[in-house]
Amino acid sequence: MPYIEVLGQKIEVDEDGFIQDPSIWTPELAKELAKMEEVPEMTEDHWKVVNYIRDYYLKHGIAPMIRKLCKDTGFSLKQIYELFPTGPAKGACKIAGLPKPTGCV
């Protein structure tokens, strides 16, 4: 299993860089994951999206529907892609510490 090094700690990730244990997520770890997703710096807007996804996941155990994510954060899909070039599912959700989505996505 591959690892990434964050703040001197070894973190287990899968081949696509998704963390294996969502419960170990921290904001510091998110910043490191962001760098892998073409997000060099986490701005306030980035945090708004990531925190929303994170909270939704902790509450419901799934990623929010993309339309709902847009509505509740006030960003259009286009803006989300500008913030997270690798997309909401594989970029933003990954930074928020969610497992890689499965199925027809």
Work out how close the CB of 69 gets to other proteins at its nearest, in angstroms, rounded to a whole number.
10
Q: How many CB atoms lie within 10 A of CB 104?
A: 4
Q: Does 102 bind other proteins (CB under 8 A)?
A: yes
- Interface of this chain with other proteins, residues 19 to 58, rule: CB under 8 A: 20
Among 8, 10, 15, 41, binds other proteins (CB under 8 A): 15
Helix, strand, coil % in the chain, rounded to nearest 5: 50, 10, 40
Q: Catalogue the long-range contacts made by 8-15 (C-beta closer than 8 Å, 24 or more residues apart).
A: 14/100
Q: How many residues bind other proteins (CB under 8 A)?
A: 25
Q: Does 67 bind other proteins (CB under 8 A)?
A: yes
* CA–CA distance, 63 with 41 (Å, rounded to integer): 23
Q: Is 70 a catalytic residue?
A: no
Among 63, 80, 83, 95, binds other proteins (CB under 8 A): 63
Active-site residue, from 41, 56, 104, 105: 104
Please tell me the number of Cα atoms within 13 Å of 100 on its side-chain side.
11
Q: Does 60 bind other proteins (CB under 8 A)?
A: yes
